[in-house]
Structure 1
């Protein structure tokens, strides 16, 4: 485990808005923040908001073996297990994996967890998967374009020839172009939790998370534009990239809180 295991204080250095490097996420997910993560994302509300979207997409493609590449505290791993999928749970933050394992055990499941860096994903996982899911706005932690390309290439390599990648992101286009006005309808459903960007520019979205006990945490994230993510996916080799807005196929660009990209590894005909 990393040295961050015993930490309760985040470390962004003396100039937090200048901290723009991929590897800092390990210092952001300290124990005390991870312990509160499930207050931030209410599981029952999130399940209701998502409905069976991800389960339906995976079943439509006949997927059985799924790699949850951004497990977090285990929400999607557990939902997919309960829907009958064979799931392997990966995260780069060891604190998250500990919490995910505990959450799984509380619900009667033993998660198969692996700590891995996406940029070297296939070094730490075994075999190939029918689907890779990277959810919870996690891809935004990659600040360097080479890191993004490497991660997508690793996802691609982890898939069977007819596999699918499902990757979500915040609607940073709306935040960058129109300001932040989200009601957190779909993901951030916890009661009395305040989430908003403290600083936004073309290279950084620094979000502030305030909890009822007056504790405050931050995440530094790269504000990914939708068209940019789709282009990177295509350049790595993904085909037929469908993008949904808050689980809907049709939407106005500024409305969704989140975009969900569904990308096939092999060409399956125009949709």
Structure 2
């Protein structure tokens, strides 16, 4: 692979790059081409099962906005499960790959290039559910960006809609150091994923592939309770958090947390 494809333009001090918009540099053509090797669609389907499909069906959802569609994994799964899906992403490279992956599987994805902070400018309609998966929300380094994004997600939902948003278990990484079973999310073979640097304002992850290519992502290490608080302050009332697809868990065990936030207004909530 050429050096150009591996160059993510972090500069001489990559640990100082703490900018929401830098993800556009990080998800370059080379890294996007490797992304499906990283998640391994078949292994991911087996480990995840029907978790998201069941959550959505139990709540009567039919229309879904996949706000961080990446290479299309969840969009395709939801389409095949009978949902009406719009696939959005801020990365043009990811959207192109998602559309290509959809075509390979016999689907024409309805794609939309959208910055979450102005989501409702770039997408139409209201949805039964908005999903933001793949640890994508942690690309937002600025609290104002996070609040604006959650407000946009809230606005994109119908009155009784739900938001499903996931994140790495940064609490465990910050408090106890990094360990991962890679059982559920990044299931590709012979791929190395670990944080090269972690502090209260940055988790810089290194992704190494069998052909010796290396890529990085700079992300903000969001704590679980902080995300839940932001959701509440934006207007979501009932929030349920799963650990690696389980309702009960020890706080340090899950690799990922999955938040399910309901927009529906409960008058008796204090």
Shorter-chain TM band: over 0.9
Query: What displacement does 1:266 show?
Result: 1.4
Is the Cα–Cα contact under 8 Å of residues 117 and 148 in structure 2 kept in the other structure? yes
For 2:261 and 2:147, the matched residues in 1 are separated by 15
Match for 2:133 among 113, 132, 135?
135
State the partner residue of 1:3. none
Distance 1:214 1:39 in 2: 13
**Distance in 2 between the 1:7 and 1:157 partners?**
37
Q: Secondary structure of the equivalent of 1:233?
A: helix
TM-score w.r.t. length of structure 1: 0.96
Equivalent position SS for 2:187? coil
| 1:56 corresponds to | 54
In 1, the alpha carbon distance for the partners of 2:67 and 2:181 equals 27
- Residues 10-21 of structure 1 mapped to structure 2, 5 A cutoff: 10-21=8-19
Unaligned runs of 5+ in 2: none
Name segments (4+ residues, structure 1) moved above 6 Å. none
2:184 maps to 1:189? no
How far off is 1:49 after superposition?
A: 1.1
Q: Secondary structure of the equivalent of 1:180?
A: coil
What's the TM-score, normalizing by structure 2? 0.96
Contact residue 6 and residue 215 of structure 2 kept, 8 A = no
Unpaired segments ≥5 residues, structure 1: 1-5
Quote the Cα distance in structure 2 between the aligned partners of 1:128 and 1:267: 17
Shift of 1:267: 3.0
Is 1:41 equivalent to 2:39 in the alignment?
Answer: yes
What is the aligned counterpart of 1:203 among 193, 201, 221?
201
Name the counterpart of 1:155: 153
Q: CA deviation at 1:14?
A: 1.6
- 1:8: Cα distance to partner? 4.6
The one of 242, 257, 266 aligned to 1:259: 257
